[in-house]
Amino acid sequence: MKLLFLANRLPYPPYRGDKLKIYNLAKRLCGKHELHLLTFTETEEDKKYIGALKDFFTEIHTVHLPKWRGALYSIRSLWKNRPVQVCYFQSREMQRKLNALLTVHQYDAVHVQHLRMAPYLSARKDLVRILDLPDAFSLYWKRRSEAQKNPILSIFQKYEAARLSDFESIVKDYNLGLVCSQEDLNYLQKAHHFKNLHLLPNGVDLTTFKAAHDYAHNHTLLFTGNMDYAPNVDAVNYFAKAIFPLILTRFPKTKFIIAGQRPVAKVKELASENIIVTGFVKNLSEIYNDASIVVSPLRFGAGTQNKVLEAMACGVPVVCSNIGFNGLNIENGEGAIMKTSSKLFAEAVCELLVSASLRENVGAKGLELVKKRFDWDVIAQQLEQYFIKAIAIKTQ
């Protein structure tokens, strides 16, 4: 098949969710199919990475969208009935370049990444189009507004969540829609009664995240993620202030490591004798395997959390909140233990710290699960079948 990927961000380097997915899918599909990419670049540094994707994509086309210009585009949401998130990425230059590509090439199908990019092809009924959301964006903003303490920001976030919920009905204009977790799928089905929405999980690269874990040590807790991302910033602050002190009363020598690029001031300020803020870590697999337990105490968000899947792929036990757990559609203790209060969360961590056999049991279950359901090789095959299905629907 000849496939076009329309993405809101250049999928390199693959260090964040929206970049990871396209990168890993393209890496696996390029051997059998001709792939083209049309995407935005945000910085001059982004342009330097284009060459790294040429092994996967036959053609790569970009439109430069610096933050200041996206912010200007966002202002249009004041008089347009569209979410800020969508207006930010609405570019006439992108539309022109997309139209030109569609004139020159006959694509078998187009993969549109994210709700933000949905308007570009919503009206092109002549094309086979898959919209990969990848999560229920309205659910993310709803939860974010509920966790927001600033009343002005809370009002804006509730309004944005409502507009996103309305806008998500655009899925009906596509041949197929995809979402990354069962929780998000159920949420969107209840809100919109979609007949064309299906599940395509996020995955993990088992050649990068390899299990080489030593269950003997019990002194290191780990949180990973982009540390300028609001749910992650909130999660580490919540853990450091409400959960970690409870753990230290029983295990005073325990270290809490916060690993991830671009830590903001609210994260850096947590650094202490027992809390280490690393900044960017190139070899995440190594730091996972050095951890006793991975914690993911997110209080808002949607979809699935890469940090949970990556830890499970390394055989490391995880303690997490319902955010990042419900989306996996797994049993409690099947690689991850879910707790929703600070006290119960701390108790679950302590139970694991006490028992090497429990850590190994939970970790082994997670590794087995990832191999069966969350390997990118498996997920790329699922996407390939969705393309075939969408083409079949279009030709009926």
**Same domain? 97 vs 132:** yes
Give the residue-averaged pLDDT of 325-342: 89
- What's the CATH code of the domain at 346? 3.40.50.2000
Q: Is residue 215 part of a domain?
A: no
Q: Is residue 208 part of a domain?
A: no
Q: How many domains does the chain have?
A: 2
Residue range 174-233, pLDDT digits in tens: 999 999 988 899 999 999 999 999 999 999 999 989 888 788 888 999 999 999 999 999
Instruction: Specify the DSSP class assigned to residue 271.
Output: -
Q: Is residue 214 part of a domain?
A: no
Q: How many CA atoms lie within 13 A of 221 on its CB side?
A: 29
Give the residue-averaged pLDDT of 338-359: 95
Model confidence at 16: pLDDT above 80: no
**Same domain? 385 vs 346:** no
**Same domain? 368 vs 379:** no
**Same domain? 312 vs 287:** yes
Nearest to 174 by CA among 229, 128, 235, 237: 128
Average pLDDT of the chain? 93
Q: CB neighbours of 97 closer than 8 A, spacing ≥ 6?
A: 38, 61, 63
Question: What is the extent of the structural domain holding 299?
Answer: 220-373
**Same domain? 61 vs 151:** yes
The residue that leads in pLDDT, 149 or 66, is 66
Q: Is residue 176 part of a domain?
A: yes
Q: Is residue 172 part of a domain?
A: yes
Residue range 232-246, pLDDT digits in tens: 999 999 999 999 999
Give the residue-averaged pLDDT of 138-165: 91
Predicted local confidence at residue 45, as pLDDT: 93
Nearest to 203 by CA among 335, 383, 376, 371: 376
Q: At CA 132, angle to CA 28 and CA 119, rounded to 5?
A: 130
**Same domain? 147 vs 225:** no
SS3 (DSSP) at 127: coil
Q: Is residue 359 part of a domain?
A: yes
Predicted local confidence at residue 331, as pLDDT: 86
Model confidence at 99: pLDDT above 80: yes
Q: Band the pLDDT of 17: cuts 50, 70, 90.
A: confident
Q: Is residue 317 part of a domain?
A: yes
Predicted local confidence at residue 111, as pLDDT: 98
**Same domain? 303 vs 388:** no
Compute how many other C-beta atoms are within 10 angstroms of the C-beta atom of residue 213: 22
**Same domain? 94 vs 183:** yes
**Same domain? 237 vs 318:** yes
Q: Is residue 213 part of a domain?
A: no
**Same domain? 151 vs 195:** yes
**Same domain? 96 vs 119:** yes
Model confidence at 78: pLDDT above 80: yes
